[in-house]
Amino acid sequence: MLGAAAFGFNEGPTATPFEHMPNITLSVPAQAFDAGTRQRLLQAIHDAAVVATGIGPDPRQQALCWVMLHEVAQGQWGCGGRDASAHCLPVQVQVLAPHGVLDALQRADYAQQLHQAIASCLAADEPRTLLTSIVIDDVADGRWAANGRIWHLADFVQAAGYAHLQPTAAIG
């Protein structure tokens, strides 16, 4: 198991306080993707998050973006009240991001990037229609905690290096 040090953070009593954001959870039908495709999917979703949120290039900043994939057992996912898995490939995505990181235009662009990231991972001969449901939730300031500490937008901006939220240098 990788410790915090693998991501450039201190461990133990002098641990670097860090938060994971955004949190992205994908739910997919079980066995819809093989192991290699699941890894490509996780990376594509991560890459879309970096572009959409402006997470900085430092590996410590990149490590703050968590992507989790949950497989839903056959017969446990209904579309329109029935199992439609023979005809469609449903993928549900939930993104939790600190309030203030994404505006309406960025959110719309992010949804498109997420859909395209998933579509790019499908096999060329996939016969089912991809159906994505993407929910992008803003977590109110002061309502996100990690390791027992409440985080605020300024903490996220400093830790993740959100490019579009960095203070601009004074001109003159």
pLDDT in tens, 142-166: 998 878 889 888 888 888 778 787 7
Query: Buried b vs exposed e over 67-86: b needs ≥16 C-beta within 10 Å?
Result: bebeeeeeeebeeeeeebbe
pLDDT in tens, 44-57: 999 999 999 998 88
Instruction: Identify residue 91 by its one-letter amino acid code.
Output: V
Average of per-residue pLDDT values in the chain: 85
Nearest to 126 by CA among 41, 42, 46, 44: 41
pLDDT in tens, 11-56: 444 444 445 579 999 999 999 999 999 999 999 999 999 999 998 8
The pTM of this model reads 0.81
